Structure 1
């Protein structure tokens, strides 16, 4: 600080406080205030960066799960079903899967998300299983994604996509959507050309 500014500050403090506060106390009080403000700002920026990290980790988790979910779904469909329903699956079913996974992920802390993984291979033939997201620490399913072949009378065949959660012991069907196949019977899951 310039010498004249210091002297002016001493005179100003003395006049304003009628000599009750010395300039040294004023400088200390000012430094304490600045220190408190800096600490508060540092705490807020640390908290903000932690919140951003949690949001990033949540988004990263959902993105990774969606990439794997799409792969597992195409394995389940096989070479005969995939080309027929792929476009509608991408536009109708995948976004709803993403909503379900994101909603599920928001219910768990970051530490738990790091131990969640997708089951390796979809079930073959007549089983509904596409993939499950499970906790690798316990081996228990968190959410199960399935597809079922429906055949309403006189309407043809539909692929009914749905999921189950552990919250209701996998009892409720949470509907994701249906994709029309044809009047003819669809091939078995995982069929190749």
Structure 2
């Protein structure tokens, strides 16, 4: 009889809340008799369960303190690039981006790390979200302590007469106040207007 009562209560709660709230398992603990064999396998209500979560797993902005952190930065940069491309642009330009453009992005980051002698002491991070629509931002590498950008990686959609649409990948540096465009490379899209970023 208790089994039917339990099922009836669970169904009533699910129907009344449209499935948004599920019945608490505490109800079943209180309904079971104390000598029930199933209760001995379950932890009591007063028992506390502790577990630790590694903070680095939840850290979205990796700091660059050693080579593994640089690898994390590169992986984040690639992930953010694909996020910006979206499902419409990404599959079309992925191969050329991986073989031509991304190695140059890695070079620029590595060169910046080598020319700035004290960067190994700083906490560097990468921005979390690329811009959508037709905006240029892919990601920025910045100093977390000073909260200043060091390198800004962008992609611009260019329409060239008679040739069609190209994606121009470039970067800006803090050394010239982000004014100059330092070209990384171009990828041809087609003669048709490309979709918006993040689409």
Task: Give TM class, smaller chain.
Answer: 0.5 to 0.7
For the residues of structure 2 that align with 1:64 and 1:103, how far apart are their CA atoms? 17
Instruction: Give the structure with the higher percent helix.
Output: 1
**Counterpart for residue 135 of structure 2:** 127
Pick aligned residue for 1:87 from 78, 95, 108: 95
State the aligned residue count: 134
**Counterpart for residue 5 of structure 1:** none
Pick aligned residue for 2:159 from 140, 151, 156: 151
1:111 aligns with 2:118: no
TM-score by length of 2: 0.65
**Counterpart for residue 141 of structure 1:** 149
Give SS of 1:148's match: strand
For the residues of structure 2 that align with 1:172 and 1:166, how far apart are their CA atoms? 10
1:181 aligns with 2:181: no
Give SS of 1:175's match: strand
C-alpha deviations, 1:69-100, integer Å up to 9, x for none? 00000000000000000000000001000000
Contact kept, 8 Å, 1:122 with 1:130, in 2: the verdict is yes
**Offset of 1:57 from its aligned partner?**
5.2
Q: CA RMSD in A?
A: 1.4
1:170 aligns with 2:187: no
For the residues of structure 1 that align with 2:146 and 2:159, how far apart are their CA atoms? 37
- Larger Cα Rg: Structure 1 or Structure 2? 1
TM-score by length of 1: 0.67
**Counterpart for residue 18 of structure 2:** none
**Counterpart for residue 46 of structure 1:** none
Pick aligned residue for 2:74 from 66, 72, 85: 66
Give SS of 2:185's match: strand
Contact kept, 8 Å, 1:131 with 1:145, in 2: the verdict is yes
